[in-house]
Structure 1
Amino acid sequence: MLTIDPKRSLLLVIDFQSRLMPAIHDGETAVRNARRLIEMAELVDIPCIFTEQNAKGLGPTVTDLPVEKGRLIHKQFFDACRESGFLDHVPADGHIVVVGCESHVCVQQTVLGLLAASRKVYIVRDALGSRRPEDKETAIRRMERHGAEIVTSEMVVFEWLQTAEHPRFRDAIALVK
């Protein structure tokens, strides 16, 4: 199957933190699209994992993103996969949908770690952020070169639905409008 399998999906929300986000280029768009996916995941029973990098320095996850809807993992490593026990929460056969900041640091290193651990990874382009656009674009190209699929938030919504007959179809349409 080339589309994202909702039965095997996990949404990974990386480091949308309060002291970092004001510096992120077009950060409001990334947060809005991440929230859309968090809400969609809840509608279709897809688990979420949130990470926070050095929360003492970068603050908690921004209040626009409902951390309580998933598992929160605190980390010091840029690559969350290096944190003890992290991969235990990421199914070996999972379709890992990734959103977060910064694209070229924690997101990229975590994605490369997931790929090295043989996970199937989908990077949500419109729910990623970096301070500089060129860092984001370079990271996206690098992650794709190593095997990550590049998608948009709307692509994820419809792949999770699979059909217009899905019982949450109307709710999902309201999220993408």
Structure 2
Amino acid sequence: MSRKAIKAINWAALAERIPETEKTAFVAFKAKSDQHLRRMTANPEAPPKIDWAYYKKNVALAGLVDKFQKDYESISVPYPTDKYTSQIEAQEKDLFVQIEQFIKDSNERIATASKEVERVKSLLPFSEMTMEDFRDFCPEQALNPDKPTIWPHTPEVQPENEQGRPSHH
């Protein structure tokens, strides 16, 4: 992780999104990150330069400093490769597709609900409705004179819905 990347973390914005149950884990993670940053900034960004000429003058063994210099300059510590950014970006694209679909579905549900609200608003108030108006508005709840029900007029107590008994017609 470069120094720029670790400084670019917006901890306040991140803290707002953390649920209460995860606050302690978040605080521990931030403390660990801050400790890592302190240790990283305690060291210079590049290693100090070695004065090879000084050592060549002052070390008696011939060729030893040249060998050390050659070995030192041939060492390269590779920066770890980033294997995860592409996976995260792919997941992000999938999520954006899902979010767009959810928005589209939600807008359709909103449109359907709005139509229903408008339909209900356009009806007569219940206080001014006749029994026929109510039957037209709520056919499943209105009493049907062609198919009378028995008290308490709930579906499960009607003769045709009782188990093991033939219906009376």
Q: TM-score, normalised by structure 1?
A: 0.21
Q: TM-score, normalised by structure 2?
A: 0.22
Q: Tell me which of the two structures has the higher relative contact order, counting C-alpha pairs closer than 8 angstroms and 6 or more residues apart.
A: 1
Which of the two has greater helix per residue? 2
